[in-house]
């Protein structure tokens, strides 16, 4: 039915288009709670930009107009760990920085994910050295690794899409009942 305004503006219309609409409410989507929650989550993954080196420049490029990470719902870079969902570790993690990275990760609210962006964050990269942590997966559970030195913004966007696919598959209701840290991290030999 086409909406036509024929009455004067100061009188209320007798019938409106804003009431019950059988075209909308008559069609019901049946889904699982898991799938619905995951759909909400995966399309607004707010990043925690853990920029530590030159990869952070590419991360900024991914957030800027040419590459536009907001197409995938992740444009809200949160500099507070309390408000972010996915930590993007972009750069060289030195041992001096490692426990700060771990602490910020622990301050993030569940559910949370980690993208290791670039060679340094993934493996230590070219820094086989006394001062560099040889891969951030020694202290954090990494979901997606991005190759490159530094990776192009497209590679980061690809990682984000892969992470979205992973989020869509997760058993979120079961995860809500588990402990805050995965068991594999509980066995680390240093204290925090």
Partner 1 sequence: MPTALEFSRQLGENFAEFVSAPVEFRGEVSVTVSDPQRIAEVCRYAKVEGGFDYLTDLTGVDHYGEDPRWQIVYELYGLGHCCHLRISTRVSEAVSELPTVSGVWRAADWHEREVYDMLGVRFAGHPDLRRILMWEGYPYFPLRKDFPLGGKPSDVPDVAFTRRASLEGGPFVTPPGVRDAVSREPRVRTPDE
Residues that bind partner 1 (CB under 8 A): 95-96, 98-99, 124, 128-132, 134, 138, 190-192
In the complex with partner 1, which residue's Cβ is closer, 96 or 178?
96
In the complex with partner 1, which residue's Cβ is closer, 100 or 176?
100
Neighbour-count burial of 59, counting CB atoms closer than 10 A to its CB (0-12 exposed, 13-18 middle, 19+ buried):
buried
In 10 A of CB 50, how many CB atoms? 28
Those residues with Cβ within 8 angstroms of residue 51's Cβ, 6 or more apart along the chain or in another chain: 59, 60, 90, 91
Q: Could you tell me how many residues make up the chain?
A: 192
In the complex with partner 1, which residue's Cβ is closer, 18 or 130?
130
Closest approach of Cβ 95 to partner 1, in Å? 5
In the complex with partner 1, which residue's Cβ is closer, 40 or 95?
95
Closest approach of Cβ 126 to partner 1, in Å? 8
Q: Are 78 and 47 in contact (CB under 8 A)?
A: yes
Closest approach of Cβ 70 to partner 1, in Å? 35
């Amino acid at each position: 039915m086409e909406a036509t305004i024929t009455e004067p503006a100061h009188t209320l219309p007798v019938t409106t288009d804003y009431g019950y609409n059988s075209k909308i409410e008559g069609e019901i989507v049946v889904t699982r709670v898991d799938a619905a929650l995951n759909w909400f989550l995966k399309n607004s993954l707010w990043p925690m930009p853990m920029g530590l080196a030159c990869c952070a420049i590419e991360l900024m490029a991914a957030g800027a107009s040419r590459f536009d990470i907001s197409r995938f719902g992740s444009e809200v870079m949160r500099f507070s760990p309390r408000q972010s969902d996915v930590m993007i570790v972009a750069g060289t993690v030195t041992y001096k920085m490692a426990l700060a990275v771990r602490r910020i990760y622990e301050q993030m609210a569940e559910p949370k994910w980690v993208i290791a962006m670039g060679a340094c964050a993934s493996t230590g990269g070219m820094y086989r050295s006394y001062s560099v942590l040889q891969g951030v997966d020694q202290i954090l559970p990494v979901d997606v690794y991005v190759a490159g030195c530094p990776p192009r913004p497209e590679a980061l966007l690809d990682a984000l899409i892969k992470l979205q696919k992973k989020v869509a598959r997760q058993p979120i209701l079961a995860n809500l009942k588990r402990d805050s840290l995965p068991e594999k991290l509980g066995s680390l030999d240093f204290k925090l």
